């Protein structure tokens, strides 16, 4: 995919006129990362933001004891690390490729110049940041108020809604899903086993089939 086509597929650039898309494509640089390679580190000056073209990346924080907490996983067309574009600070978390990845990189200075000339794009960015904040607030609620089985049930329902099918593949290896949900892989495996024994889901490798949607929703709502 060429840069212009990739820019056109970036969520908050969709619908922009061709001349603006061309400016963004001129600014963008395509970068490639292997699985496990770092896009940016926490607490270092942010020189721009990214948007995956292929593959996915995770944004996470690591405690002094080395415990990892995944904040979000981003896929093609989503913006990553865009907050410092406005505040001019450092990246608040680390970003790493969870699989081989190509990503657009937009340098902060050049992108801010484009924003000054395009109030509509600036409004899109503000709307996207508001949506991102809402996602983080919901995640904090889940981690602080829900027990682990409820978090797992909610995650399965989220994956189901993104595919519009009762059968879907897990979006990440189980170890990564466990980190995202604030638990460990052994606990996640026990919950999957329990859900299977209770007839809520069927598991074949990384493929999940939801068998009892109503009960799974009840579990996901527990602790609210």
Residue-wise pLDDT for 139-151, tens only, equals 766 666 688 999 8
Q: Are residues 112 and 157 in the same domain?
A: no
The low-confidence residues of the chain, meaning pLDDT below 70, are 132, 140-145, 223-224
Which residues, at least 6 apart from 111, have a Cβ–Cβ distance to it below 8 Å? 27, 48, 49, 85
pLDDT, position 198: 95
pLDDT, position 143: 64
pLDDT, position 145: 64
The model carries a pTM of: 0.74
Q: Are residues 116 and 52 in the same domain?
A: yes
pLDDT, position 35: 96
CATH label of the domain that carries residue 209: 1.10.10.10
Q: Are residues 114 and 208 in the same domain?
A: no
pLDDT, position 224: 46
pLDDT, position 223: 53
Tens-digit pLDDT profile for residues 29-64:
999 999 999 999 999 999 999 999 999 999 999 888
* Domain-terminating residue out of 92, 114, 137: 137
> CA 216, CA 201: separation in Å to the nearest integer?
9
> CA 123, CA 221: separation in Å to the nearest integer?
33
Count of domains observed in the chain: 2
Q: Are residues 190 and 117 in the same domain?
A: no
Q: Mutual orientation of helices 119-145 and 148-163 as an angle, nearest 10°?
A: 140
pLDDT, position 122: 78
Q: Are residues 92 and 186 in the same domain?
A: no
């Amino acid at each position: 995919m060429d840069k212009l086509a990739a820019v056109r597929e970036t969520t908050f650039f969709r619908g922009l006129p061709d001349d603006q898309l061309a400016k963004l494509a001129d600014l963008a640089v395509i970068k490639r990362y292997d699985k496990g390679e770092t896009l940016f580190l926490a607490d270092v000056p942010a020189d721009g933001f990214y948007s995956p073209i292929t593959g996915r990346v995770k944004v996470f924080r690591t405690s002094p004891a080395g415990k990892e907490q995944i904040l979000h996983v981003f896929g093609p067309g989503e913006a990553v690390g865009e907050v410092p574009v406005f505040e001019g600070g450092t990246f608040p978390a680390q970003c790493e490729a969870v699989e081989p990845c190509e990503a657009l990189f937009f340098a902060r200075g050049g992108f801010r110049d484009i924003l000054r000339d395009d109030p509509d794009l600036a409004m899109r960015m503000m709307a996207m940041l508001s949506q991102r904040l809402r996602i983080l607030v919901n995640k904090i609620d889940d981690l602080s108020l829900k027990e682990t089985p409820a978090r797992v049930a909610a995650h399965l329902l989220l994956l189901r809604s993104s595919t519009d099918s009762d059968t879907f593949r897990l979006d990440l290896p189980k170890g990564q899903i466990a980190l995202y949900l604030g638990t460990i892989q052994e606990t996640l495996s026990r919950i999957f086993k329990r859900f299977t024994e209770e007839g809520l889901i069927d598991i074949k490798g990384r493929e999940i089939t939801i068998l009892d949607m109503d009960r799974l929703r009840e579990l996901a709502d527990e602790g609210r």
